[in-house]
Structure 1
Amino acid sequence: MSDITLRTVATNGIEANVAIAGHGPAVLLLHGFPHTWRVWSEVIPHLAARHRVIAPDLRGLGGTTRAETGYDAANLALDAEGVLDALGEPSATVVGIDAGAPPAFLLAMRRPERVRRLVLMEAVLGDLPGAEDFTAGGQRWWFGFHAVPGLAETVLLGNEAPYVDWFLDGGTLGRGVPPEIRDAFVAAYTGRDSLRCAFSHYRAMPTSARQIREAVASARLTVPTTAIGAYPVGDALERQLRPHADDLTGHLIEDCGHIVPLDRPRALLDHL
């Protein structure tokens, strides 16, 4: 990890904590919940051999500004574009997982000239058709829990570690993540304000879903796109994208949990 540099860059009214490594064509990595840029720790060294890897902490998470507002996907896409601007990168391959996938998608839809290639994994894009099998019976329980203003942060305050551990264990099919990465995630999500920011991403999901519907109603996804599924999302994301993408490839990684970059980094690198 010694070849990774952490920088603070100004973007879209916030200060983003950004991990940077390597030289070459830019690759922008956008993490999800309950992660920070460190979710990419196992793949960054390999990508950095030939690319300039740029991995920011999303708005409100990790070392990035605990903003009061702006957690919808369109604004997160502006955050990401501003990171590229601040680092002098006119375009990048953009990779998003979980909560990082909707802003990556909207960046490619709205500013295709900035995205050479798009890779989305283990996420659903709002309420676009195609994910009915995955969402049958409603979203996972924590979506509703996180969405109620003020509730989850009050209930979880002082119990952040076991809560984060539950997601990390489930997201790796029980295999877990390296202790130092686990500890970094727990630290990033400890405290009322950290929890508030994390759950603000969920509270903005109705707005993000509307933005995604509007985007596909007015344009097509023209950049080369790869959809990667594991457990539990599977091929739901690929099915959502298929009617809207001009150039789409789908992959399923077997025996892989939701946190693909830590659970099956070698398989992920094969597709990247």
Structure 2
Amino acid sequence: MASRTTPVTAAVDRPLPHAEGAKHNWLEVRGIRLHIAEYGTGAPVLLLHGFPQHWFSWHQVATLSAAGHRLICPDLRGFGWSEQTRRGYDIDGLSDDLLALLDVLGLERVYLVGHDWGAHVGFRLCLRAPERFGGYLALNMAHPWARQRAILPNLWRQWYTAFIEYPVIGRAVLRRWPAFTRFLLRHQVADPSVWQADELAEFSAAAQSGAHAGQAMFWQYVVREIPALLRGKWRGQQLTVPTVLLGGERDNVIPPSMLAGGESHADDLTVRIVPGVGHFLPQESPQAVAGAMRELFATGR
């Protein structure tokens, strides 16, 4: 039975940023309205954005990879132009939204791309419903079996989450301190000049309008995902979807050392490091992302 939630706000009413070739739609999914942007026609590919972004994070990748593919870029619950609700921001809840979205679109099987938080959701989708995904490209996110000896020395890199995850405080920071969001965007790339001024303005505004969703997602990770990792919940799970994991050589959030160690838990997992880039591969190296998509989705490996 589909869960029902009470909307906090409707989708934001500011204008959608312009992206050549994008078509927009709003669909009823699990009792809320989700916004999707689509590019191209052909084999369907579901692309999941990270924080503090939305569908527009894929616009550079789309110009390079829309030919022969139907790129479906949803705004996750509460982000961008999708409805905000009081609850539903845990990884399983977001995964439920996306599986239901595929059902609404009439798609039995798609290719999958995820960045940052979207990549975290992507791993969960592939473990829960592997039959729905022909291949998975994960960007800038550790797999569920990251080694503790890699995690512990890098915990300090998550310092910024302390300003976001706590109820009340996190929402206030995101709503009232857009300079904090702009700092994170600049700090987490290898070369801050990669950001266009309109992108910084758009994504800092997105963090403000989606403050409830952003804070809730981080908090749900603290109260649900961290305990599950400590219990070894995913230790016995096997990743059967062919997967390529791309990391940035200079990623100061999820460094390359955190990407190793998943091969024994996967049938077909390849880890690659893109030189000279940081945590926002879709902006810093859209060519590498588009190239990995073409290779993985053309060969099915």
Counterpart among 66, 90, 99 of residue 48 in structure 1: 66
State how 1:1-272 maps to structure 2 within 5 Å: 1-125=19-143, 128-130=145-147, 132-136=149-153, 138-139=155-156, 140-160=158-178, 162-173=179-190, 174-191=192-209, 194-206=210-222, 207-209=224-226, 216-230=234-248, 231-232=251-252, 233-272=254-293
1:110 is displaced (CA, Å) by: 1.0
CA root-mean-square deviation: 2.1
Deviations 1:93-151 (A, max 9, x none): 1111111112111111111110110111212346x442633541625112222221111
> Following the alignment from structure 1 to structure 2, what is the Cα–Cα distance between the partners of residues 150 and 55?
30
> Following the alignment from structure 2 to structure 1, what is the Cα–Cα distance between the partners of residues 236 and 154?
30
> Following the alignment from structure 2 to structure 1, what is the Cα–Cα distance between the partners of residues 88 and 149?
28
Deviations 1:51-99 (A, max 9, x none): 0000111111111111111111111111111222222211111111111
One-letter amino acid matched to 2:221: M
Q: What is the DSSP-based 3-state SS (H/G/I as helix, E as strand, rest coil) of the residue aligned with 1:69?
A: coil
Deviations 1:174-217 (A, max 9, x none): 224122222221221225xx212111110011313456777634
Q: Which runs of 5+ in 2 are unaligned?
A: 1-18, 294-301
| TM-score, normalisation: structure 1 | 0.90
| TM-score, normalisation: structure 2 | 0.82
> Following the alignment from structure 2 to structure 1, what is the Cα–Cα distance between the partners of residues 128 and 117?
18
Q: Which runs of 5+ in 1 are unaligned?
A: none
One-letter amino acid matched to 1:132: R
One-letter amino acid matched to 1:93: Y
CA spacing shift, 1:84–1:209, aligned 2, 3 Å: farther
1:218 is displaced (CA, Å) by: 4.5
Give the conservation status (yes or no) of the 8 Å contact 1:121–1:237: no
Q: Which moved more, 1:262-271 or 1:172-181?
A: 172-181
CA spacing shift, 1:214–1:131, aligned 2, 3 Å: closer
Aligned residues: 268
1:152 is displaced (CA, Å) by: 2.2
Percent of paired sites with the same residue:
28
Give the conservation status (yes or no) of the 8 Å contact 1:25–1:51: yes
> Following the alignment from structure 1 to structure 2, what is the Cα–Cα distance between the partners of residues 6 and 144?
35
CA spacing shift, 1:236–1:182, aligned 2, 3 Å: same
Give the conservation status (yes or no) of the 8 Å contact 1:74–1:211: no
